[in-house]
């Protein structure tokens, strides 16, 4: 199974090097992305599917970026199941949480939804996985239930350089994508000072291309 880890790291690094076509964000200090994945027929014996999203405060590689691994953890060693948040800078992984949960996708047709919340406060960028719902893990990122998060220091003063297109370009299914029916970024919300910027709420559904 260790061979999966050696395959995934280059794939995710290559994804994180992509800069999507930039759609300017408002001056904000918090961004929420709503995600939805629908599993087709999982392959628990083969360890699939393994799902990853990338989220960055900017649309290039000038700052660290977050990677959220779902249905696998690959640091400090590869393990099927569960979830993990990692922080990358270029080709270097700066840090990782310990991974949460060990349950593995085994249910055909399962829908998994969650919110990725990226926040900026006092020179620190933080990512938290919130409001997760699934058959495999039940509720996750809700209170003490499989709380998944990470953070890094920054000189940024806002997320004006964020783009949802960059998140889309940096997200996918690095192993057994044939086990996933669909993967979508279904909405984005922006906040400043704890208040939602209603005029900038983005309900565009962005579908991840799983055919490549």
pLDDT digits (tens, 9 = 90+) for 142-190: 766 677 888 899 999 999 999 999 999 999 999 999 999 999 999 999 9
41 in a domain, yes or no? yes
170 in a domain, yes or no? yes
**Strands 195-196, 180-192: pairing kind:** antiparallel
Angle (nearest 5°) at CA 123 between 11 and 149: 45
94 in a domain, yes or no? yes
Q: Tell me the pLDDT tens digit for each residue of 26-71.
A: 999 999 999 999 999 999 999 999 999 999 999 988 899 999 999 9
Token pair 């996985």: residue: 129
212 in a domain, yes or no? no
pLDDT tier for residue 4 given thresholds of 50, 70 and 90: very low
Q: Tell me the pLDDT tens digit for each residue of 59-74.
A: 988 899 999 999 999 9
Q: Output 8-15 pairs: Cβ under 8 A, ≥24 positions apart.
A: 8/50, 8/52, 8/72, 8/74, 8/174, 8/175, 9/74, 9/93, 11/174, 12/52, 12/54, 12/67, 12/88, 12/174, 13/88, 13/90, 13/91, 15/52, 15/54, 15/169, 15/170, 15/171, 15/172
73 in a domain, yes or no? yes
31 in a domain, yes or no? yes
Count of structural domains within the chain: 1
52 in a domain, yes or no? yes
What are the residues facing 187 on neighbouring strands? 34
Q: Detail the DSSP E strand segments found in the chain.
A: 30-39, 50-55, 65-73, 79-89, 92-96, 111-121, 124-133, 139-140, 148-153, 172-175, 180-192, 195-196, 206-207
Q: Residues with Cβ < 8 Å from 158, sequence gap 6 or more?
A: 27, 28, 29, 120
101 in a domain, yes or no? yes
Domain range for 103 is 2-207
Name the H helices within the chain: 2-16, 164-169
């Amino acid at each position: 199974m260790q061979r999966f880890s050696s395959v995934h790291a280059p794939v995710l690094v290559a994804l994180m090097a992509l800069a999507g076509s930039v759609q300017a964000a408002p001056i904000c200090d918090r961004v929420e992305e709503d995600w939805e994945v629908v599993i087709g027929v999982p392959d628990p014996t083969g360890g699939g599917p393994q799902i990853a999203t990338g989220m960055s405060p900017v649309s290039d590689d000038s700052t660290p970026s977050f990677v959220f691994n779902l249905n696998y953890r690959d640091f400090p060693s590869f393990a099927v199941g569960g979830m993990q948040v990692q922080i990358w800078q270029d080709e270097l992984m700066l840090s990782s949480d310990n991974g949460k949960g060990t349950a593995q996708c085994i249910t055909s047709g399962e829908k998994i939804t969650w919110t990725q919340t990226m926040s900026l406060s006092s020179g620190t960028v933080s990512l938290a996985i919130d409001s997760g719902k699934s058959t495999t893990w039940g509720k996750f990122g809700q209170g003490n239930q499989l709380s998944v998060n990470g953070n890094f220091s920054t000189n940024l003063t806002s997320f004006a350089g964020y783009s949802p297109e960059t998140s889309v370009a940096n997200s996918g299914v690095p192993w057994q994508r044939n086990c996933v029916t669909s993967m979508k970024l279904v909405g984005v919300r922006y906040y400043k000072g704890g208040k939602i910027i209603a005029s900038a709420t983005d309900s565009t559904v962005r579908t991840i291309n799983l055919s490549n």
